[in-house]
Amino acid sequence: MSADSFTTASASTASESIPEMVPAVSQQNEQVQFRTEAGQLLLVLPAETDPAAGLGWSDLLQQLQQRLSAGKRFWQFQAPVHLVVANRLLDGRQLGAIAESLAAAQLQLKRVHTSRRQTAVAAATAGYSVEQDSPSALNQATAASALADPLYLQTTVRSGVEVRHPGTVVIVGDLNPGSAVVADGDVVVWGRLRGIAHAGAKGNRQCRIMALQMEPTQLRIADQVARGPATPPTQFQAEVAYVTPGGIQIVQATDFSKN
């Protein structure tokens, strides 16, 4: 795929947009909470470090089911739910149990917000959108420049799923049309990149997007945007997208390594 098969533009003029992340949610003494924020329905589980969070997994699940079946409901049926778990470790089985409980109340688990890499991997593998936050800011000086450890996903990211991570994202699998990955670092797809990939999301133009087969809906690096060609290519080689003075350019990985 050649660089001139893409049209570059500033991110402010792109017609596609990627949703903003949900604002931070403070943990309170209550164990399991439902609340609305920014027009979204949040299901908030207590952080594992919360002194009031002494309940085990089975107790948390039971409390969730009680909250779903009792009290006044303030949500619409089939509303998407954003699960906010902070640093609580959840595996695929536990996420499935939460999704089943929500489905029984005619709600849909849509996105998982977590600071745990294992939980993020489990959620993405199960087909949920993921937003991974840094466990702690440490201090303002380092938070602005430091990236989180890379997030490795051995799965195909399906349509409708979005993955956000404050570091590099490596996907061993495909990024399907209708899906998106947003990374503060690089984006590496060891497969077919056919969705939206945004590297350097916090403004770092030195970040790269790499894929074995580059046929994206849209590429973004920092504030730069490139759209895929109208006619998909018939031959593929591993390619790298990076920012040049003229916008985003895409070259074969072998040529990029010579620079």
pLDDT digits (tens, 9 = 90+) for 164-174: 999 999 999 99
126 with 23, same domain? yes
pLDDT value at residue 21: 44
42 with 26, same domain? yes
Look over the chain and give the mean of its residue pLDDT values, rounded to a whole number: 82
pLDDT value at residue 135: 54
93 with 189, same domain? no
Q: In which element (H, E) is residue 84 found?
A: strand 79-86
31 located within any domain: yes
Single out the residue in 94, 110, 132 at which a domain terminates: 132
190 with 163, same domain? yes
Tell me how far apart the alpha carbons of residues 245 and 80 are, in angstroms, rounded to a whole number.
41
Give per-residue pLDDT as tens, 74-110.
Answer: 778 889 999 999 888 999 999 999 999 999 999 999 9
28 with 12, same domain? no
pLDDT value at residue 47: 77
76 with 104, same domain? yes
Confidence of residue 1 (pLDDT cuts 50, 70, 90): low
| Residue range 247-257: mean pLDDT, rounded | 84
139 located within any domain: no
Give per-residue pLDDT as tens, 22-58.
Answer: 444 333 445 888 888 888 999 999 877 554 446 688 8
229 with 126, same domain? no
Confidence of residue 72 (pLDDT cuts 50, 70, 90): low
pLDDT value at residue 145: 52
List Cβ<8 Å contacts ≥24 apart for 88-91: 88/45, 88/46, 88/47, 88/48, 88/114, 88/116, 88/119, 89/48, 89/116, 89/118, 89/119, 90/114, 90/116, 90/119, 90/122, 90/123, 91/118, 91/119, 91/122
Q: State the residue for tokens 């688990």.
A: 109
Confidence of residue 134 (pLDDT cuts 50, 70, 90): low
**CATH code: domain of residue 71:** 3.30.70
39 located within any domain: yes
63 with 151, same domain? no
Domain extent, residue 102, equals 17-132
| Residue partners of 139: CB distance under 8 A and separation at least 6 | none
Pair 32, 44: CB distance under 8 Å: yes
Tell me how far apart the alpha carbons of residues 198 and 181 are, in angstroms, rounded to a whole number.
6
pLDDT value at residue 180: 97
7 with 40, same domain? no
| Residue range 100-123: mean pLDDT, rounded | 94
**pLDDT of residue 223 exceeding 80:** yes
188 with 227, same domain? yes
195 located within any domain: yes
